[in-house]
Structure 1
Amino acid sequence: MPNTYFQFKQFRVEQDKCAMKVCTDSCVFGAAVEVADAQRVLDIGAGTGLLSLMVAQRTKATIDAVEINQEAQVQAAENFSSSPWRERLHLHPVSLQKYAESCQVPYDIILSNPPFFLSSLKSPDAVRNTAKHAGELLFDDILLFAQQHLNQNGKLYLLLPPAEATLFRKLALAHGFKLAETIEVFTYRGGKCIRHIQTYTVSAPEAPATKQFFIREEDKVTYTAEFATLLREYYLQL
């Protein structure tokens, strides 16, 4: 049975009410996004609030988090209120579409680990389906929102499996965004690429940068030096 919480060095993520638990690739994503100079950040599909909390730890930005699932709303609110950055974390318990109707602020950073597996079979668990499959939150909704509310020099960050990342890139181009960088995340050296961390901007180089990031060494147990460096400010065991 999964733990009811995940303890980080500076905060705890309670997760008993959420279908999607804290996972390693999300932690890599939260630590990898560049937010040092951001004044305002939006987390789309907050879930437990993990990404918002990770960003809050290393920036002074005001962070808005949008979440449609009622159980996740309660969980994120609890995690925000018990964190050291509660004054800068603002949960909006609505859909992104609804939030777009009233949003009046521009964002320096928009990030999302959205529902994915567009082409895969859905599980019988309706809550988990919503968390893992594009349903209430569609890729076009994210891009439309970013068109209207991302600063001219802002960045849009996505964490997606490779196939869905390819699809999102095509849609992003149609919406006027360019892929600036892809970080290919591998479970271990010699293993499978499980996720792409994509960075989009309005203006980007003709050839986007591509990097590879390995979570573990070939023994599938030992964390790589790059993982340890990236997560050292968050993980208790590093």
Structure 2
Amino acid sequence: MQAQKFKKAEIHAAEIEIKAYNEAKFNFEVSPWGNRLTALNCNYLSHFFNCFYDLVLTNPPFYSNSFSSSSGKRNFARQEKFLPFEDLFEKTRKIISPRGNFQLIVPAVAEEKILNLAQKNNFHLNRICRVQGSPFSPIKRILFSFSKIPKKFSEELLIIEKERGLYTENYKALTQEFYLNF
């Protein structure tokens, strides 16, 4: 989606799990933007990145042990202990460019923890978007955008559906480039 939106961006995707890496690599190769996409089979935390990034975007694993699965691979992809937020912030601080952004999506219950880690790692909150499935459901996810330098702050609420199967105009506008049925 980022390659489609940002026409000159060179994108590196770090994936530790070999099957997911191979799938990403194949998808990159057949993509119209494949010449700007690179899949890396690596551990984000221990990999040496030989450049600085203008954007680090992640949907990190965030479940605690209370949501463990009998599948080791599923746990690895979903359990925060395999990519702790603390380590994620520390690594990202080291590889992000001075004017770069760090964006992540986490469950709403992690908001305070994320804000504390951002402050501890000298990141400034630029944008926060709280996501609700419907007007009557609780906030489920939060999208954050941080940077090393202060920027104009914005706060939003994104409601996905007015009612079951009926998407809000804001959600349609946000996703119409990526979904054919909008």
Task: Confirm or deny a common fold (TM above 0.5).
Answer: yes
Quickly name the TM-score band, shorter chain normalised: over 0.9
| Inter-partner Cα distance in structure 1 for 2:23 and 2:81 | 21
Name the counterpart of 1:56: 3
Name the counterpart of 2:156: 211
> Cα–Cα, structure 1 residues 150 and 114, in superposed 2: closer, same or farther, change >3 Å?
same
How far does residue 208 in structure 1 lie from its aligned partner after superposition? Answer: 4.8
Could you state the TM-score of these two structures normalised by the residue count of structure 2? 0.92
How far does residue 209 in structure 1 lie from its aligned partner after superposition? Answer: 3.2
Q: What do residues 6-38 of structure 1 show as CA deviations (whole Å, max 9, x unaligned)?
A: xxxxxxxxxxxxxxxxxxxxxxxxxxxxxxxxx
Q: What do residues 62-102 of structure 1 show as CA deviations (whole Å, max 9, x unaligned)?
A: 00110001110111111111100111001110101232xx2
Q: How many residues align?
A: 181
Q: Tell me, what secondary structure is at the counterpart of 1:109? A: strand
| Inter-partner Cα distance in structure 2 for 1:172 and 1:118 | 20
Contact persistence 1:180–1:201 (CA under 8 A):
yes
Contact persistence 1:122–1:129 (CA under 8 A):
yes
Q: What do residues 170-207 of structure 1 show as CA deviations (whole Å, max 9, x unaligned)?
A: 112111112222100110122221100001112336x9
Contact persistence 1:118–1:164 (CA under 8 A):
no
In structure 2, runs of 5+ residues without a counterpart are none
How far does residue 118 in structure 1 lie from its aligned partner after superposition? Answer: 3.1
State, as a whole percentage, how many aligned pairs show the same letter. 27
| Inter-partner Cα distance in structure 2 for 1:221 and 1:192 | 18
Could you state the TM-score of these two structures normalised by the residue count of structure 1? 0.72
Q: Tell me, what secondary structure is at the counterpart of 1:169? A: helix
Q: Tell me, what secondary structure is at the counterpart of 1:188? A: coil
Match runs of 1:31-70 below 5 Å: 54-59=1-6, 60-70=8-18
| Inter-partner Cα distance in structure 1 for 2:17 and 2:89 | 21
More strand by share: 2
In structure 1, runs of 5+ residues without a counterpart are 1-53
| Inter-partner Cα distance in structure 1 for 2:129 and 2:168 | 16
> Cα–Cα, structure 1 residues 233 and 216, in superposed 2: closer, same or farther, change >3 Å?
same
How far does residue 134 in structure 1 lie from its aligned partner after superposition? Answer: 1.2
> Cα–Cα, structure 1 residues 145 and 132, in superposed 2: closer, same or farther, change >3 Å?
same
Name the counterpart of 2:103: 157
Match runs of 1:116-195 below 5 Å: 116-118=62-64, 120-195=66-141
State the superposition RMSD in angstroms. 1.6
Q: What do residues 105-132 of structure 1 show as CA deviations (whole Å, max 9, x unaligned)?
A: 1111111000102363312222111111
| Inter-partner Cα distance in structure 2 for 1:93 and 1:127 | 15
Asked if 1:78 corresponds to 2:26, the answer is yes
| Inter-partner Cα distance in structure 1 for 2:65 and 2:75 | 13
| Inter-partner Cα distance in structure 1 for 2:96 and 2:46 | 17
The aligned amino acid for 2:169 is: A
Q: Tell me, what secondary structure is at the counterpart of 1:117? A: coil
